[in-house]
Amino acid sequence: MIHIEVRKHGGKIVSLSASGHAEAADKGEDLICAAVSAILFGLGNAADEMSDMIGFEIAENQFRMYAGEPDSTAETILQTGYYQLKTVEESYSDFVEIKTLEV
């Protein structure tokens, strides 16, 4: 299962992290993993190009984006990612789980 954690502070997303595998198909053929990976790497690219407020870390089976005090651009990027990932979770809840925490 892909586990996604969204942390909010004052109603704003301050971090978004993902780990694990969907294991919905063989390695290299798992479209759910591909969808989540495409969303996360797209967010990372947007953050890199559009916002100095967002940092991100990528390791094998792990992705994390964070913004201490998100400005409007950072908040838009993080919120967009959340909505995209939520759409995948709604369609494939056996393989993707999102947990939201207020910190």
With tokens 């992290």, the residue in question is 17
Give residue-wise pLDDT tens across range 61-79: 899 999 988 899 999 999 9
The per-residue pLDDT for 2 is 98
For residues 55 and 63, the answer to whether their CB atoms sit within 8 Å is no
Residues of the chain with pLDDT under 50: none
Q: What percent of the chain has pLDDT over 70?
A: 100
Question: How far is 102 from 14, CA to CA, in rounded Å?
Answer: 10
Q: What is the pLDDT of residue 73?
A: 94
Specify whether the CB–CB gap between 73 and 47 falls below 8 A. no
Range of the domain at 85: 2-102
| Count: domains in the chain | 1
Query: What is the domain-level CATH number for residue 37?
Result: 3.30.70.1490
